[in-house]
Amino acid sequence: MSYIKVPKILLPQNVDMSKWATIACDQFTARPKYWSELENYIANSPSTYKLVFPEIYLNKGDGDKRIFSINSEMKKYYEIGLFKEINNFVLVEREVENGGKRIGLMISIDLDAYDWHRVRVPIRATEDTLTERLPVRIKIRENAILESPHAIALIDNPEKDIIEPLYEKRKNYNKLYDFELNMGGGNIKGYEVPQSEKIIPKILSLLDPKEQLKKYGIDAGVLMVIGDGNHSVATAKVTWENIKPSLTEAEKENHPSRYMLIELINIYSGVDFKPIHRIIYNPSPDFLPGLSKELEGTNKIKIIFSNHEETIKAPNIASYTIMGVQKYIENYLKNNPKCEVDYIHNEEHLKEAVTESENNTIGIVMPSFPREELVNFVVNVGNLPKKAFSIGEPQHKRYYLEMRKILK
């Protein structure tokens, strides 16, 4: 089993790419204005916006109608011949903060090599997977003819000798796209990497037991971890497991649903971990005293109210703070059903959401998780709680762009 496959990537032809590519569906869940402005901008143009279910609309009550529309639009795009096929990896150059670059490689991963539980598999989750968040995604994928990922997988490659050399050669490659992403997403470029099969052994060399022992203290057998889009990969896994019983062994080998298109990024190359803050709606007066009692340590985290801010004590290790806060919130919600939580990727957006809320609302400013500790943490401690970190600011998250056929 190679764990990695060269995908048949589909890219749209003769469309306005700035309207085609759109931000991940789980972003800006507390900013309805973002999504209404995006929808108005796209209007009648072909767009990945029409192929996904923005999570801000999950409770709108029109879920079945949206899902039917998503699957119908996918089928229409494919049948009218909207796409050209690329049978190689695509090297992605993404402009992020302060003119920086984030470099990635579009590949397919084998879902048989992935598991979100803490077991020894080559491809692992970085955060807890909440199965109650999967049904809507599964309902979309089980009848979807196409996939377009916002999932990012991270490799632990401090030597920078896998993806980075490809980037140095990019001027020798066929440039597939070069445009400005909408809504402040920055510039993005894509290059076709010739003879992509030859790159796979280099990626798989990360599984060398000596290298694993040097990095993690054990031969962990970890090839990559899912840094973003954990629930999307879990959705693909569940859908594939549901399909498998109906297939022969021969059919399982190359069935398109066995694989998932993701962007592979080196954790040491242009990856900026940002905290994901918590906003609490309708907390009772006992919420904050209870949280203060739960957290111990010499650090402090900021609490934002509509008209003032204060701090409470917190552990001096970021991962302990993140786990402590999330555990407390999840337990609190079980006992206080009127209380709700949302996740916001920028402190200014958090302040804005707290200030604009008509209800009793508080914001919790979370610490940053050190990127260089991530894989070691996953190997030797376990999964982080959900929404532990973000790869970049919300406008710099991965946009849906490349696609792949997942039904025969």
Please give the backbone phi and psi of residue 84, each rounded to the nearest 5 degrees, phi first.
Answer: -110, 150
What's the token pair of residue 247? Answer: 């297939």
pLDDT in tens, the chain (408 residues): 689 999 999 999 999 999 999 999 989 988 899 999 999 999 999 999 999 999 999 888 899 999 999 999 999 999 999 999 999 999 999 999 888 899 999 999 999 999 998 889 999 999 888 777 789 999 999 999 999 989 999 999 999 999 999 999 999 999 999 999 999 999 999 999 999 999 999 999 999 999 999 999 999 999 999 999 999 999 999 999 999 999 999 999 999 999 999 999 999 987 888 999 999 999 999 999 999 999 989 999 999 998 889 999 999 989 999 999 999 999 999 999 899 999 998 899 999 999 988 778 999 999 998 888 899 999 988 888 888 988 888 898 999 999 999 987
Q: Are residues 71 and 111 in the same domain?
A: yes
59 located within any domain? yes
Helix, coil or strand: residue 115: strand
Please report how many Cα atoms fall inside a 13 Å half-sphere around the Cα of residue 392, on the Cβ side: 28
379 located within any domain? no
Q: Are residues 108 and 191 in the same domain?
A: yes
Please give the backbone phi and psi of residue 242, each rounded to the nearest 5 degrees, phi first.
Answer: -70, -30
Q: What angle do CA 212, 7, 54 make, to 5 degrees?
A: 90
383 located within any domain? no
Number of domains observed in the structure of the chain: 2
Q: Are residues 96 and 185 in the same domain?
A: yes
Q: Are residues 209 and 290 in the same domain?
A: no
Q: Are residues 173 and 209 in the same domain?
A: yes
Give the span between the Cα atoms of 83 and 79, in whole angstroms: 9
Q: Are residues 174 and 215 in the same domain?
A: yes
Helix axes 287-294, 318-335, angle to 10 degrees: 140
pLDDT digits (tens, 9 = 90+) for 45-90: 999 999 999 999 988 889 999 999 999 999 999 999 999 999 999 9
Q: Are residues 40 and 158 in the same domain?
A: yes
189 located within any domain? yes
Find, among 375, 362, 384, the residue nearest to 271 by Cα: 375
Give the span between the Cα atoms of 105 and 91, in whole angstroms: 5
pLDDT digits (tens, 9 = 90+) for 151-162: 999 999 999 999
Q: Are residues 166 and 240 in the same domain?
A: yes
**249 is in which domain, residue-wise?**
4-272+391-405
Give the span between the Cα atoms of 30 and 7, in whole angstroms: 35
375 located within any domain? no
Are the C-beta atoms of 14 and 77 separated by less than 8 Å?
no
Q: Are residues 61 and 127 in the same domain?
A: yes
385 located within any domain? no
Please give the backbone phi and psi of residue 281, each rounded to the nearest 5 degrees, phi first.
Answer: -100, 135
Are the C-beta atoms of 283 and 362 separated by less than 8 Å?
yes
Q: Are residues 99 and 43 in the same domain?
A: yes
245 located within any domain? yes
DSSP letter (8 states) at residue 257: G
In the chain, the amino acid numbered 208 is D
Are the C-beta atoms of 314 and 301 separated by less than 8 Å?
yes
333 located within any domain? yes
Q: Could you tell me which residues come within 8 angstroms of residue 405 by beta carbon, excluding any fewer than 6 positions away?
A: 8, 10, 78, 145, 146, 256
Q: Are residues 264 and 287 in the same domain?
A: no
Q: Are residues 266 and 281 in the same domain?
A: no
